[in-house]
Amino acid sequence: LAENLPASNLLGFKGIAASTADEVVIAPGYKAEVLISWGDPLVDGAMAFDPNGGNSAAEQEKQFGDNNDGMSFFPIDDNHGVMAINNEYVNEQYLFAHGGSQASSLEDVRKSQAAHGVSIVAVKRIGDSQRWQVERPSRYNRRITANSEMQFSGPATGHPLLQTAADPSGRRVLGTLNNCSNGKTPWGTYLTCEENFETYFGTQQADYKTTPEQKRYALKANEPERNWSTFDERFDVAKNPNELNRFGWIVEIDPMNPHSTPIKRTALGRFKHENAAVTVAKDGRLVVYMGDDERGEHIYKYVSKNKVDSSNPANNHRLLDDGTLYVAQFDGDANGTPLKGTGRWLALEFGKNGLTPENGFRDAAEVLIFARKAASQVGATKMDRPEWIAINPHDGQTYCTLTNNSKRGEEGMPVNAANPRPNNLYGQIIRWDEGGDATAENFSWDIYVLAGNPIAHPEGVNRGTPNITAENTFNSPDGLGFDKAGRLWILTDGKYSNKGDYQGQGNNQMLVGDPKSGEIRRFMVGPKSCELTGIAFTPDYKTMFVNVQHPGEEGDSRFPNNSPRPRSSVIMVTREDGGVIGA
Ligand code: FEO
Ligand code: CA
Ligand code: CA
Ligand code: CA
């Protein structure tokens, strides 16, 4: 138990030690099994996975995508469900038979594009157990890729900055990219969030000069990371400069209708979207909290104009098109108490708060397309890489992982009350309280945990808050989710060297926090050089799904099942006695 903390009656399992093994390690009494892995056949006509990278682009298009990240479970009945699962990016060295770290042909680009996007996977219960399996064939099974047709919706639709030679209307776009995490609407649709989209763009044109807006979104045009632009002109920013503006959005997908067209919802702003935490405010309006994961970027909130109509879901389709986008300002405590304070949501509305033509915003659409620029204009607080956001179902307090920030304390990014550590190695989880009204423009906040390592740093800021111990030490909280009982599930995407500042922390891991007592206990540890991410439950909370993403990115894993090439996989967690996970 953490020092000086009352014993938690929320956390019912025995915490486990750190691990550096190339396997999933889980709390006693629990079982972790693979549900589906990258390359497994999914839709009709799919070929078997070739463990040597020999599947073609056309074959990959029918298989489960790579690097599964955020996901949601949509129940059909007690024994059937549909899962929507993001395929964030690819591990080139394993995707391509040639083992190189970049695409070297158009076929490579097409295969990579086919491994991106979202996989819609039907699942069914095995007998009367808590275990599930992929249902195949199923009419629901579907791949949405970097080449699937989608529409724009909301205020930026059709704007000149979204128009291209292939789509002069600015209304139709191909594909979704770098689908990091996710959200779920009250009307049963899936929200998938486009994060590091600029890594797909570049140009061979040596004298190409990036614009200030492209730089703000971190585009490095002359160092195309994945080399798509060499073979697919759509991703050449010199030839198709507006294509970049067509990514960085939140995309809504109806997983229950395999013929539905995904919709990019421009009212939610364009940035490196991590996840979308959705709630219905007490007055019935829809609220979406969103992080923008880059060093010094911001936390956003969207409030719909109209109310959710639970009696007629068809009336809800415009809720994500018409509303106000806000960005957060975090101020210190008036009495100077550390690790807490107050804050405000600043509206990003054209014509207000300096969002005017004089300051470079020509219309409402530009405020959304260049939301980062608008956030700076209104004075948003620079955060330590906002990743996931999760809402406590019991009190509405909202938690956000700030994963780490190697640049904190450098010029242009001084420490501030909410981001108090220079060269923030370990990250923190901040939470805010809006007094029970998710539409509020003011809030109070505190730090739930400042992660740290008491083994490497028995004293000082890198020790972490008192709820960090030698037993639960971790770095870089990223994935985050609440279960129905109010347990806070924390997943890490950090350094796994197990040396120096990270000694004793082992591989990336999953922990559970008690929001009231503050206690945090380690529940599961992933295989070598993976990230643990994505969290979804069945409605009875007796089955949990978690993602092992990019195992062996350092060339050191044969996960799962001694695979010649490691494979990102969805893990199904059950309790040997069939009980509620974590209880
Ligand atoms: Fe895809 Fe910020 O994690
Ligand atoms: Ca990830
Ligand atoms: Ca993440
Ligand atoms: Ca991360």
Q: What is the pLDDT of residues 38-64, one digit of tens each?
A: 999 999 999 999 999 999 999 999 999
Across the strands, what pairs with 174? Answer: 149
Distance 14 CA to ligand 4 centre (A): 27
Distance 274 CA to ligand 1 centre (A): 6
Biggest CA-to-CA distance, the chain: 65
**CA neighbours closer than 13 Å in the CB half-sphere of residue 329:** 14
- Mean pLDDT for the stretch of residues 233-260: 98
CA distance 321 to 312: 17
Return the closest-CA partner of residue 84 out of 32, 141, 38. Answer: 141
Ligand 1 site residues, Cβ closer than 6 angstroms: 88, 180, 195, 274, 293, 387
- Give the Å distance between the CA of 565 and the centre of ligand 3: 23
Task: Write out pLDDT tens, residues 551-576.
Answer: 999 999 999 999 999 999 999 999 99
pLDDT of residue 317: 87
Report how far residue 464's alpha carbon sits from residue 454's, in angstroms, rounded to the nearest whole number: 7
Atom of ligand 1 nearest to the CA of 69: 1
Q: What is the rounded CA–CA span in Å between residue 329 and residue 321? A: 24
Give strand pairing partners of 289.
Answer: 277, 301
Nearest to residue 478, comparing CAs of 269, 220, 119, 195?
195
> How far does the centroid of ligand 2 lie from the alpha carbon of residue 387, in Å?
10
Split at pLDDT 50, 70, 90, the class of 483 is very high
DSSP, residue by residue, 419-443: B--TTBSS-EEEEEE-TT-TT-SEE
Q: What is the pLDDT of residue 314?
A: 86
Q: How far is the CA of 81 from the centre of ligand 4 (A)?
A: 28
Q: Name the token pair of 306.
A: 């109209």
ipTM: 0.99
Ligand 1 atom nearest 493 alpha carbon = 3
Total residues found in the chain within this entry: 583
What is the whole-number distance in angstroms between the Cα of residue 7 and the centre of ligand 1?
33
Distance CA 196, CA 89 (A): 9
Write the burial class of residue 538 (CB in 10 Å: 0-12 exposed, 13-18 middle, 19+ buried). Answer: buried
Determine the average pLDDT of the residues in 254-267.
98
Place of tokens 């790579």: 66
Q: Taking Cα atoms as reference points, which of 83, 154, 76 lies closest to residue 317?
A: 154
What pLDDT is recorded for position 320?
98
Mean pLDDT of the chain: 97
* Strand blocks (E) in 38-125: 68-77, 80-87, 117-125
Ligand nearest to the CA of 550: 2
The closest residue, in CA terms, to atom 1 on ligand 1 is 180
pLDDT at 212 over 80: yes
CA of residue 532 to ligand 2 center, whole Å:
8
For ligand 4, a single-atom ion, the residues with CB < 5 A are 478, 493
C-alpha 227/C-alpha 365 separation (Å) is 30
Alpha-carbon separation of residue 514 from 341, 355, 483 (angstroms): 21, 41, 11
CA of 90, nearest ligand number: 2
Q: pLDDT tens digit string along 508-539?
A: 999 999 999 999 999 999 999 999 999 999 99
Ligand 1 atom closest to the Cα of residue 385 is 2
Distance CA 106, CA 182 (A): 30
How many Å apart are CA 263 and CA 208, to the nearest integer?
32
- Shortest-distance atom of ligand 1 to CA 272: 2
Peptide linkage before 51 cis (omega within 30 of 0) = no
Distance CA 394, CA 404 (A): 28
Residue 199's pLDDT band, with cuts at 50, 70 and 90, is very high
Q: Does residue 198 sit in helix, strand or coil? A: helix
Whether 250 shows a pLDDT value over 50: the answer reads: yes
Q: Which residues contact 97 (CB under 8 A, 6 or more apart)?
A: 52, 53, 54
Residues with CB under 5 A from ligand 3 (ion): 387, 478
Condensed to tens digits (0 to 9), the pLDDT of residues 60-96 reads: 999 999 999 999 999 999 999 999 999 999 999 999 9
Residue 165 token pair? 């030679």
Mean pLDDT of 416-434: 98
Provide the 10 A C-beta neighbour count for residue 310.
12
Residue 6 scores a pLDDT above 80: no
The radius of gyration of the chain's CA atoms, rounded to the nearest angstrom, is 22
Least distant ligand from the CA of 403: 4
Q: For residues 203-214, give the mean pLDDT.
A: 96
Question: CATH for 25-195+248-575?
Answer: 2.120.10.30
Query: What band does 374 get if pLDDT is binned at 50, 70 and 90?
Result: very high
Q: Which of 388, 552, 570, 551 is nearest to 481 (CA)?
A: 388
The CA 562 to ligand 4 mean position distance, Å, reads 26
In this predicted structure, the answer to whether residue 471 has a pLDDT above a threshold of 50 is yes
From ligand 1's centre to the CA of 387, what distance in Å? 6
- pLDDT (0 to 100) of residue 2: 44
Burial state string for 402-418 with b = 16 or more CB within 10 A and e = fewer than 16: bbbbebbeeeebeebbb
> Measured in angstroms, how far is the CA atom of residue 477 from the centroid of ligand 4?
8
Domain ranges of the chain: 25-195+248-575
For the cut 80, the answer to whether the pLDDT of residue 108 exceeds it is yes
Ligand 1, closest atom to CA 195? Answer: 1
Average pLDDT over residues 137-160: 98
CA atoms within 13 A on the CB side of 105: 8
245-to-173, 182, 201, 232, 374 alpha-carbon distances in Å: 11, 20, 11, 17, 15
Ligand nearest to the CA of 195: 1
The helix (H) or strand (E) run that includes residue 155 is none
* Rounded Cα gap, residues 202 and 205, in angstroms: 9
Beta-bridge partners for 424: 405
pLDDT digits (tens, 9 = 90+) for 336-366: 999 999 999 999 999 999 999 999 999 999 9
SS3 of residue 373 by DSSP: helix
How many whole angstroms from 478 Cα to the centroid of ligand 1? 8
pLDDT in tens, 405-414: 999 999 999 9
Please tell me the predicted confidence (pLDDT) of residue 313. Answer: 85
pLDDT digits (tens, 9 = 90+) for 278-329: 999 999 999 999 999 999 999 999 999 999 999 998 899 899 999 999 999 9
Q: Looking at the predicted structure, is the pLDDT value of residue 1 above 50? A: no
**Has residue 141 got a pLDDT over 70?**
yes
